Amino acid sequence: MATQITNYQCPACTGPLQFSSDIGKLKCEYCGSEYEVAYIEQLYASKEDTAAAAGTETLWDLDMAGGEWSDEEASHMRAYSCPSCGAQVICDDTTAATSCPYCGNPTTVPGNFAGTLKPDFTIPFMLDKEYAKNALRNFYKGKKFLPNSYASENRIEEIKGIYVPFWLFSCVSDGNVIYDATRVHSHTTGKEEVTVTEHYRVARSGNVTFDKVPVDGSVKMPDSHMEAIEPYDYAGLKPFSSAYLPGFLADKYDIGADECNKRANERIKTSTEDAFMSTVNGYNSVTVKSSNIRINKGDVKYAFFPVWMLNTKWKDKDFLFAVNGQTGKLVGDLPVDRGKFWLWFACIAAPIFVVLNILFFWI
C-alpha cells in the first residue's frame, strides 16, 4: 500500500507527491513526474537552509534612503511645530508657516531645523492653488446625499501646498501560486440536461520587478488617502533640490523606512499575486490554494511628493481634502444628508417590497 507524503510538493508542477511502492520513488499524482527519495530530501533541506539564512538577513537596504543636508542648505531651512496636533513641517526661510496644513490651527511654533534626511527625489508642484480650489468645487457635483447647503456655506479655511514624505521601495519578487479551477459544460441527452464540472490544478511561477513602490512616511496622513491620490507620474521625478521648496511646506517624516517596509511588502505581495492571477484565463472559477511569494532584498529611496491640503469648515465641523499636486486627483470626506439617504432607500425598497408581497400572497 502506498504511503502518501503530504508535505512534499512536485518541483515541476508543485502538486503533492506520493511514495509509490511499485517503483520505489516519489511520484506526482498530477504531472506524473518521478523522483528519488534522496533527491527530494536534499532539495527540501537546501530550501530550508536558504529560508533560514534569509530570515536573518535584512530585506531592504535602508542605508540607501536619503542623504545629508549641506550646511548651506540647512541654514536656509526652518521647522515649525503645531501645538494642537503635533504636526511638524519644514520650509525654506522665505516661506511663512502661519497655520497647520493638517488641522488648520492658526498658531505654529518655529524651532530649529534638525533631525531629518535630505530627500533623494522630488516631484515638483505642477498645479496651482486655483486648480485645487476648482477641483474641490467639482468634487461636490453629482453627490446625491450631500446636504443642499454644504456647497454654498462650506468655506475653505486654509489651503496649503505641502510636500509629503514618501519612501520608495524597489525590488524583484518571485514565487509560485497554486489555484483550484473549474470548467463547467452543459449538454442535453434526451430529456435530461447534463452538467459536467471539470476540476483543474493550475500553477503559476515567475518574478515581477517593482520600481519605487511609494509608502507615505507621515502618520498624520492615512495610507488609504495617500494611496487614493496615486499614481504619480514618475516621468516628472527630479533629483531633489531645495530650489523646489520656496512657497511650499514640507512634512517632516515621522514613520521611518524600517516601519514602512511592512506596508511595502503587503503591496508588493498583493501586486505579484494579481499579476499571476491575470494569466489564469478560460475557467469558470478560480480560487487560490496556496501562495508563496518571496521579496528579494531591494533598496529604498526617500522622496517629497506634492499635495495640496484643503481645510474646510461647515456647521463648525472641519473637513480635510488632499489633491495630488501633479495630477489633480482629489480625495476627502463629505457630510451625508441622512434625510436624503433614507428617502432614496425608501424609493428603492418600496417597489421591491410590493413585488415580494405579491409573490408571497398570490403565487
Task: Say yes or no: 83 and 207 in one domain.
Answer: yes
pLDDT of residue 310: 82
Cα–Cα distances (Å) from 47 to 7, 11, 39, 59, in that order, read 13, 12, 12, 18
pLDDT band at 121 (very low <50, low <70, confident <90, very high): very high
pLDDT band at 57 (very low <50, low <70, confident <90, very high): very low
| pTM recorded for the entire structure | 0.71
**Which of 208, 164, 183 lies closest to 331, judged by CA?**
164
Instruction: Classify residue 188: in a domain, yes or no.
Output: yes
pLDDT band at 23 (very low <50, low <70, confident <90, very high): confident
DSSP helix/strand/coil, 333: coil
Task: Say yes or no: 19 and 167 in one domain.
Answer: no
Task: Say yes or no: 319 and 255 in one domain.
Answer: yes
Please give the Cα distance from 25 to 67 (Å, whole number).
Answer: 57
Rounded to an integer, the average pLDDT of 1-29 is 63
pLDDT band at 46 (very low <50, low <70, confident <90, very high): low
274 burial via Cβ count (<10 Å: 0-12, 13-18, 19+): exposed
pLDDT band at 355 (very low <50, low <70, confident <90, very high): low
My answer on whether omega of the bond before 231 falls inside 30° of 0, hence cis, is yes
Instruction: Classify residue 206: in a domain, yes or no.
Output: yes
Task: Say yes or no: 209 and 315 in one domain.
Answer: yes
Instruction: Classify residue 352: in a domain, yes or no.
Output: no
Instruction: Classify residue 354: in a domain, yes or no.
Output: no
pLDDT tens digits along 147-198: 665 556 556 667 888 899 999 999 999 989 999 999 999 988 888 888 999 9
Checking if the pLDDT of 206 tops 70, the result is yes
CA-CA-CA-CA torsion sign (35, 37, 42, 45): positive
pLDDT of residue 347: 57
Q: From start to end of the chain, where are the E strands?
A: 3-9, 16-20, 25-28, 34-35, 60-61, 77-81, 88-92, 109-111, 121-122, 155-189, 192-216, 238-239, 249-251, 285-295, 298-314, 317-324, 330-332
Instruction: Classify residue 231: in a domain, yes or no.
Output: yes
- CB 110, CB 93: distance < 8 Å: no
Number of domains in the chain: 2
pLDDT tens digits along 320-332: 788 999 999 998 7
DSSP helix/strand/coil, 108: coil
Task: Say yes or no: 185 and 282 in one domain.
Answer: yes
pLDDT band at 55 (very low <50, low <70, confident <90, very high): very low
Instruction: Classify residue 7: in a domain, yes or no.
Output: yes
Task: Say yes or no: 258 and 326 in one domain.
Answer: yes
- CB 321, CB 204: distance < 8 Å: no
Checking if the pLDDT of 234 tops 90, the result is yes
Task: Say yes or no: 193 and 301 in one domain.
Answer: yes
- CB 202, CB 305: distance < 8 Å: no
pLDDT tens digits along 276-297: 999 999 999 999 999 999 998 7
pLDDT tens digits along 239-269: 998 888 888 888 888 889 989 989 999 999 9
- Domain end, chosen from 35, 55, 75, is at 55
Mean pLDDT score of the chain: 78
pLDDT of residue 150: 58
Residue 46, domain extent? 3-55
Task: Say yes or no: 180 and 50 in one domain.
Answer: no
Instruction: Classify residue 343: in a domain, yes or no.
Output: no
pLDDT of residue 191: 82
Task: Say yes or no: 249 and 165 in one domain.
Answer: yes
Task: Say yes or no: 126 and 36 in one domain.
Answer: no
Q: What percent of the chain has pLDDT over 90?
A: 31
Task: Say yes or no: 8 and 90 in one domain.
Answer: no
Checking if the pLDDT of 101 tops 50, the result is yes
DSSP H helical ranges for 56-128: 71-75
Q: What is the DSSP letter of 361?
A: H
Instruction: Classify residue 355: in a domain, yes or no.
Output: no
Task: Say yes or no: 48 and 70 in one domain.
Answer: no
